[in-house]
Copies of this chain bind each other. A is one copy, B any other.
Amino acid sequence: MTIKVSIIGCTGYVGEELIRLALTHPHIEITHLVSKSFAGQMLSEVYPNFGKAFDKKLEALDTEVIANDSDVVFTALPHGVSAKISAELSERGVKVIDLSGDFRYDDVSVYEAWYKVEHQAKNFNDIAVYGMCELYTEQIAKAELVANPGCYTTGAILPVYPLLKADIINPEGIIIDAKSGVSGAGRKESLALSFSETHESFKAYGLATHRHTSEIEQELSKAAGQDIIVSFTPHLLPIKRGILETIYATLKDGVTREDIITAYACYDEKPFVHVMEKGLPEIKHVAGSNSIKIGFAIDQRLNRLIVVSALDNLVKGAGGQAIQNMNVMFGLKETEGLTPVGLYL
């Protein structure tokens, strides 16, 4: 089986990661690589890491050509821009996996409030499926348009969802202290992202205003069956790839360590979610892999649960999860072309 894949926005870091992952996928043939900034150049001029192993001319966007020549298209574009292009492709009958925030919201008005733009393809929002594979496998299998989740949100939703579903933590007072590597901010000329400004330093940003807050709240509210408001604080780690999130929640009375493990049993058959019964995850355990690892401890004095999750923002938090969604959409094994083993070094 060969799946013809095109990638739009292929020269951002997520696009590059998608190409890299696609090349080792046994069923993918890359048909078009689209880059607005570098159209006409060869991929290897922008990313010499592909070297002599793989090269292809970067194209300007022509949705007709691409739709005709692809089984699925990944759009790795800025929000706002993405909706229109994904909708146009979807209209032409090709499956689309959109890696922006544009189709992640059940309610377009929540999107518009947090992203502060008007949604560019409202009539397509209803057919979009939220691509958190471990939660929505069946819907994804039938989807024509998948909204790939955000990186921070994956690291928050997967660990907290089962706890709320099992009704073992208090839905109020959840705090998510998140730390991400710099690649999460994308590929751009920026003083704030320069080496000299970020190395040997560390900072918090976007306090109480980061967009991913709303995406996390949407999914956790479903789990809890009530509206959830969380505190979400992102920080910028001086590393290239990886996210670690430290999550604080109050346990309901009488909840034991065993109850937590039971709640997490929902992930037992999920190849990319590893709940550690001993120890805590570190970013090196997941870097370069499509895995998310989850560890936890209970502060007995406060009856507070502390959950730590780690994932690679470019893989499980973006390109890898997109491939995983593709696998599900095309009836392949979920793990095809993806490694669950972190680089460690």
Contacts and interface: CB of A to CB of B under 8 A. Distances in A.
A187 interface: yes
Interface in A285-342: 285-289, 291, 293, 297-302, 304, 306, 308, 314, 339-342
Contacts of A284: 49, 197, 200-201
A339 B175 CA distance: 36
A242 interface: yes
A166 B344 CA distance: 41
Contact of A291 (B53, B238, B287): B53
Nearest to A291: B51
A114 interface: no
A242 B190 contact: no
A200 B282 CA distance: 10
A341 B20 contact: yes
Contacts of A204: 244, 246, 280, 306, 308
Interface stretch (A57-65, A73-81, A131-139, A227-235): A227-235
A297 B241 CA distance: 27
B240 A237 contact: no
Interface string A242-257: 1010101000000000
Nearest to A306: B207
A191 to B, nearest CB: 5
Nearest to A232: B299
B246 A195 contact: no
Contact of A202 (B48, B242, B302): B242
A30 interface: no
Contacts of A198: 195
B49 A200 contact: no
Contact of A179 (B202, B205, B339): B202
A238 B241 CA distance: 13
Residue of A195, A288, A339, A343 with most chain B CB atoms under a 10 A cut-off: A195
B280 A205 contact: yes
B187 A189 contact: no
A23 interface: yes
Interface stretch (A84-92, A151-159, A271-279): A271-279
Contacts of A293: 48, 51
A23 B246 CA distance: 31
A173 interface: yes
Contacts of A345: 13, 16-17, 183, 196, 240-241, 314
B246 A233 contact: yes
A208 interface: yes
A343 B288 contact: yes
Contacts of A304: 208, 231
A13 B197 CA distance: 11
A207 B177 contact: no
17 contacts: A13-B345, A48-B282, A51-B276, A182-B199, A187-B194, A188-B191, A188-B194, A193-B194, A193-B195, A199-B199, A202-B239, A204-B280, A207-B299, A208-B297, A231-B304, A233-B306, A235-B244
